[in-house]
Homo-oligomer: A and B are copies of this chain.
Amino acid sequence: MTHDLITMTNLVEEFNAYRSKMNEKILGADNNKIMKRIYSLDTLTYQEGALSTKVKEMLGLSTSMVLRCDDCIKYHLEKCDEQGVTTDELFEIFGVANLVGGTIVIPHTRRALEYWEQLQNSK
């Protein structure tokens, strides 16, 4: 593994480490009733149902893209990857998100593709 791949994998790890650390603080706080329920609702929402988890994660990714939340995008990219979304499918999600949300979604698409490549390379 080259130095470049190590760096890239570290970015995925970095995101997840920070995310986990701060989520624990939020969930471990004293007056966290509402936040806790939002987190548990978040888990529930993407479970298999009338729609598959795969489709729901694609909905999660596309909505995160048009709302332009890089961390949400990273999170759903990981979930989409776990659900077997292919790079061809990903590019069609990019297409819908950039069409509906406009060219302001492009910079987030650049970062999304970079993160997606890191996910693929870290396997």
Contact = CB atoms under 8 A, between A and B. Distances in A.
B29 A91 contact: yes
Q: How many copies does the complex hold?
A: 6
B33 A44 contact: yes
Contact of A110 (B26, B88, B107, B109): B26
A55 B80 CA distance: 14
A interface secondary structure, majority: helix
A94 B59 CA distance: 11
A98 B31 contact: no
A96 B58 CA distance: 10
A4 interface: no
A83 interface: no
Query: Which 10 A-B pairs rank lowest in CB-CB distance, beginning with the nearest?
Result: A102-B102, A34-B95, A71-B107, A22-B110, A50-B88, A31-B88, A31-B91, A69-B104, A59-B62, A101-B102
